[in-house]
Amino acid sequence: MTDKVVLITGASRGIGAEAARAFAGAGAKVALLARTEDRIAELAGEIGAAAIAIPCDVSRYWEMQAAVDATLQAFGRIDVLVGNAGVIEPISHLAEVEPDDWGKVVDINLKGVFNGMRAVLPGMLDQGGGTILTISSGAAHGPVEGWSHYCASKAGAYMLTRSADMEYRDRGIRVMGLSPGTVATQMQREIKASGINPVSQLDWSDHIPPDWPARALVWMCGAGADGWLGQDVSLRDPDVRAQVGLS
């Protein structure tokens, strides 16, 4: 990844923060996007000159476009977009959830993915290629109690992944999703606190560390992952874990 430029949404914690460290460790320059300005500023300071912090609400297209413009001004290009920003609260049954709160999850998890793709694609097409990685989930492919907003938004993001691959693969754009399974992040603490479904009953030791999906995202930027273009890469698959070098 030497001298490649990677833009990461939701970079303030969890998978996003670990991805920033992994890509920087592989030689990339990283643009860190999140609503929490102090956290990404601290992470950028940790990484050094190869990182910039850009406050951004991905649910607002104009903010996403401004973040892309700032990255281009700082680094000259964008080679990889990691559409990681996502939320799951409020976990609630359909008959009880507040409609506005339900919609905000879709705004971040689905519209945020679209906004990122829409903002980076023109530049990637002009430069002849690029990689777009989304964070998917088993919830994209099957319902989970209390997660109607999360399942619906992740299913929509999966279809965006497939659509972008269909439209732009022949123009050098590589698009894939990563389905990491359950990861030891703050989101899992929120899930556990809800107590609603079997996922909330998992022991903390059942979750994989966040550096595993981070390392997988770096691997997905290479030719070894080309067999998954337009699809989800699942870290539950032992063959994928072996290729990434996880154990």
Joined together, the tokens standing for residue 9 give 């949404």
| Active-site residue (options: 61, 150, 158, 168) | 150
CA distance 72 to 91: 37
Answer yes or no: 150 catalytic.
yes
One-character DSSP codes across 133-199: EEE--GGGTS--TT-HHHHHHHHHHHHHHHHHHHHHGGGTEEEEEEE--SBSSHHHHHHHHH--SGG
Distances (CA, A) of 34 to 44, 51, 63, 160: 12, 14, 11, 21
CB hemisphere CA count around 149 (13 angstroms): 25
Q: Give me the active site residues, please.
A: 150
